[in-house]
Chains A and B, each alone.
Chain A
Amino acid sequence: MEFVRNFPFLTIVFSLTCGVFCAVTRGKTAKRLCVCWLTLTFAMSLSVLIYTLRTDGSFIYRMGKWNAPWGNEIRVGPLEALMATAFSGVMVLSLSGGMSHIFADCEEGKVNIYFTMAALLTSSLFALIYTNDLFTAYVFVEINTIASCALVMLKSSGRTLVATTRYLIMSLLGSGLFLLGVVILYGITGELLMESIAEKVQDIFSTGEYSLPLTVVIGLMSVGLAVKSALFPFHSWLPDAHGSATASSSAILSGLVLKGYIIVLIKIFYRVFGLRVIVAERVSNFLFVYGILAMICGSVAALRQVDLKRMLAYSSIAQVGYIYVGLGMHSEAGMVAACVQILAHAITKPMLFCSAGGFMDVSGGQKSMAAITGAGRRDKLAGAAFTVGAMSMIGIPFFAGFATKLALAQGAVGSDKIRMTIALAAIVISTVLNAVYYVPVIFNIFSGTEGSEKAPRPKVGYVFAMGTFMVLNVAFGLFTQQITDVVRRGLQLFGM
Chain B
Amino acid sequence: MPEFLENLFTNYYETGAVVIFGIGFTSLLMHRNLLKKIIGLNFMDSGLYLFLAAKGYIAGRLAPIITDGDADPTKYVNPIPTGLVLTGIVVSVSVTAFLLALTCRLYDKYHTLDIDEITNLARKERD
CA A160 to CA B21, docked complex, whole Å: 29
A158 at the interface (CB under 8 A from B): yes
Q: Is B77 an interface residue (CB 8 A)?
A: no
Is A187's beta carbon under 8 Å from chain B? yes
**Cα–Cα, bound, A187→B81 (Å):** 10
Of A168, A180, A183, the contact of B95 (CB 8 Å cutoff): A168
- The closest CB in chain A to the CB of B110 belongs to A158
Give the nearest-CB partner of A180 in chain B. B48
Known: A156-B105, A158-B121, A165-B102. 5 other contacts (CB 8 A): A142-B95, A146-B95, A153-B102, A160-B127, A179-B48
CB atoms of A172 and B55 under 8 A apart? no
Does A173 reach chain B (CB closer than 8 Å)?
yes
The 5 closest A-B pairs by CB, nearest first: A162-B122, A158-B122, A159-B127, A142-B91, A159-B122
Return A481 CB to nearest CB of chain B, in Å.
43
- Chain A 154-194 interface mask (CB, 8 Å, partner B; 1/0): 00111111101110110011001101100100110000100
- Is the CB–CB distance between B118 and A162 below 8 Å? yes
Chain A residues bordering chain B, tally (CB within 8 A): 31
B84 at the interface (CB under 8 A from A): yes
By secondary structure, the B interface counts as: helix
Least distance between A428 CB and chain B CB atoms (Å):
35
Which of the four size classes fits the interface of chain B? 35 or more
A158 near B109 with CB under 8 A, answer: yes
Q: Would you call A172 and B28 a contact (CB within 8 A)?
A: yes
- The reply to whether the CB of A149 lies closer than 8 angstroms to some CB of chain B is yes
B23 within 8 Å of A by Cβ? Answer: no
Instruction: Please determine whether B94 and A176 come into contact, CB atoms closer than 8 angstroms.
Output: no
In the complex, the chain B residue whose C-beta lies closest to that of A163 is B122
How many residue-residue contacts, CB under 8 A, span A and B?
A: 87
Question: Nearest chain B CB to A215's CB is how many angstroms away?
Answer: 16
Residues 22-33 of chain B, each 1 if its beta carbon lies under 8 Å from chain A, else 0: 001100110000
Complex alpha-carbon distance, A276 and B105, angstroms: 49
Q: In the complex, what residue of chain A is closest to B45 when comparing beta carbons? A: A176
Q: Which of B39-63 contact A (CB under 8 A)?
A: 41, 44-45, 48, 51-52, 55
Q: Are B125 and A159 in contact (CB under 8 A)?
A: yes
Q: Are B99 and A168 in contact (CB under 8 A)?
A: yes
Say whether A162 contacts B95, CB under 8 Å.
Answer: no
CB distance from B76 to the nearest CB of A (A): 16
User: Does A244 belong to the interface (CB within 8 Å)?
Assistant: yes
A139-B87, A180-B48, A180-B51 known; A161 and B127 CB under 8 Å?
no
Q: Is the CB of B55 within 8 A of A187?
A: yes
Q: Does A135 contact B (CB under 8 A)?
A: yes
Q: How far is the CB of B5 from chain A (nearest CB, A)?
A: 16
Neighbouring A residues of B48 by C-beta, 8 Å: 176, 179-180, 183
CA distance A261 to B24 in the complex (A): 24
A168, B102: Cβ atoms closer than 8 Å? yes
Q: Which residues of A contact B (CB under 8 A)?
A: 135, 139, 142, 145-146, 149-150, 153, 156-162, 164-166, 168-169, 172-173, 176-177, 179-180, 183, 186-187, 192, 244
In whole angstroms, how far apart are the Cα atoms of A397 and B52 in the complex? 51
- Find the B residue at minimum CB distance from A142: B91
- Chain A residues in 8 Å Cβ range of B80: 186, 192
Complex Cα distance, B105 from A249, in Å, reads: 20
B17 to chain A, nearest CB (A): 9
- Contact between B52 and A183 (Cβ–Cβ < 8 Å)? yes
CB of B127 within 8 A of CB of A165, answer no
A160 to B119, CA, bound (A): 10
Chain B residues with Cβ below 8 Å from A173 are 25, 28-29
Across the interface, name the chain A residue whose C-beta is closest to B29: A173
Residue of A nearest to B44 (CB): A176
* Interchain CB contact under 8 A, B87 and A161: no
Q: Give CA–CA (A158, B112) in the complex, Å.
A: 13
Which residues on A sit within 8 Å (CB–CB) of B45?
176
List the A residue with the shortest CB-CB distance to B105: A161
B26 to chain A, nearest CB (A): 10
Least CB distance from A164 to B in Å reads 6
What residues of chain B lie closer than 8 Å to A145, measured between beta carbons? Answer: 95
Q: How far does the alpha carbon of A135 sit from the alpha carbon of B81 in the complex, in Å?
A: 11
Cβ contacts A to B, 14 pairs, < 8 Å: A149-B98, A158-B121, A158-B122, A159-B125, A160-B127, A161-B102, A161-B106, A161-B109, A162-B119, A165-B103, A172-B95, A176-B25, A183-B52, A244-B127
B51–A183 contact, CB under 8 A?
A: yes
Shortest CB-to-CB span from B65 to chain A, Å, is: 19
Question: Is B84 touching A158 in the complex (CB atoms < 8 A)?
Answer: no
In the bound complex, residues from chain A placing their C-beta under 8 Å from that of B34 are: 165
